[in-house]
A = this chain, B = another copy of it.
């Protein structure tokens, strides 16, 4: 008889060994989860950073592990607060831990092939709003993984979870009020997802940009509340504010240096166009039962097979041949008016030579209600948001760079035009 209490281990380049219980192993064994082995984390980034071939599967295990490290640290440091403010007892904390692990593990289930594609390839829901990959994650948890989550002996004997409990935490509207607090671990400005992908993407790509002090964050993270009656949020003690600041900067550097790399951005254009070509009606199957199973068949393997077969139109051919558009102009990351005017002039003069225009837009840190609270370790009554401590974080302006591309054969003509506009603006 198999031992449901057995612990399994998976080797992870970032965290050493990741341990799994029998229940989790069983969830991971489901086809809807195994599909993540066939979804590369960073799409075509390997065309620029050849080492970056890793998958959502590896990352999902890592997020579960990181969320657990954070969870355990919070319980270790703040069991009293969790008890007094959120009414957790020992059993509740054990239960919360398992719930957080599942939500972290499964939050990425709904990714399309190559992890990201244009929003416009998702169908619209009844409300008329387009679905997002999170909606697919939730739908998959509720259908494909329901049985694996609900019917395992470890669940019946100890927790009585419903798949909906996991889905609720992934979706951000947990049914249990107390669960709201843990939501920050799954998606927030200091969440386990972000921590894992920054470290993992840096590692496989072979760069330093995404490194930060995970140990320090773990040792200083805790529930913090402003003294204004609001519920506690995930925050840090003062000794960790520079580590939190460094996490924000690690993301800033990974975006500007890797995710928004000019060539990588060009391949995103191709991927979008290629998928539009390959998908029936240029759109992913819906997330309703019956169609969701069709959606799940869309993974990297299928797309690569189609590309190998010559499908995917001009953009598919370019993807396969690695014949990408060339950058001919880009604005500053935070363009001023003069810069935007130059952009418009150049676009106008390029006309048909403009093969693609892409925006690398990203906000680095949100102040306001989600600003990370920091508690002073010399004075516990003083709680201020991270952006009050960090001038760096407060002044990180939203990226809104625009990049203009031309086909390689058009580059000389396009560059000539760009140079002329520049020269004109310089002498003006």
Contacts and interface: CB of A to CB of B under 8 A. Distances in A.
Interface stretch (A43-51, A165-173, A180-188): A43-51
Interface in A226-251: 242-243, 246, 249
A46 B12 CA distance: 11
A281 to B, nearest CB: 20
A206 B12 contact: yes
B297 A301 contact: no
B55 A50 contact: yes
Interface string A316-346: 0000011000011110111000000000000
B11 A51 contact: yes
A16 B51 contact: no
Interface in A175-223: 203-209, 211-213, 215, 219
A391 interface: yes
Nearest to A306: B305
Nearest to A328: B378
Given A57-B50, A378-B329, A299 B305 contact: no
Interface string A12-40: 11101100000000000101001001101
How big is the A interface, by class? Answer: 35 or more
B242 A12 contact: no
Interface stretch (A115-123, A352-360, A392-400): A392-400
A296 to B, nearest CB: 11
A111 to B, nearest CB: 16
A94 interface: no
Nearest to A323: B29
A208 B207 contact: no
A392 B395 contact: yes
A207 B50 contact: no
A322 to B, nearest CB: 6
B57 A322 contact: no
A87 interface: no
Interface in A38-74: 38, 40, 46-51, 53-55, 57-58, 61
Given A55-B50, A308-B297, A321-B31, A11 B207 contact: yes
A7 interface: yes
Given A46-B55, A219-B17, A392 B381 contact: no
B204 A204 contact: yes
Interface in A289-310: 297, 299-302, 304-309
A50 B58 contact: yes
A9 interface: yes
B53 A53 contact: yes
- Pick the 3 closest A-B CB pairs, nearest first: A305-B305, A13-B206, A395-B395
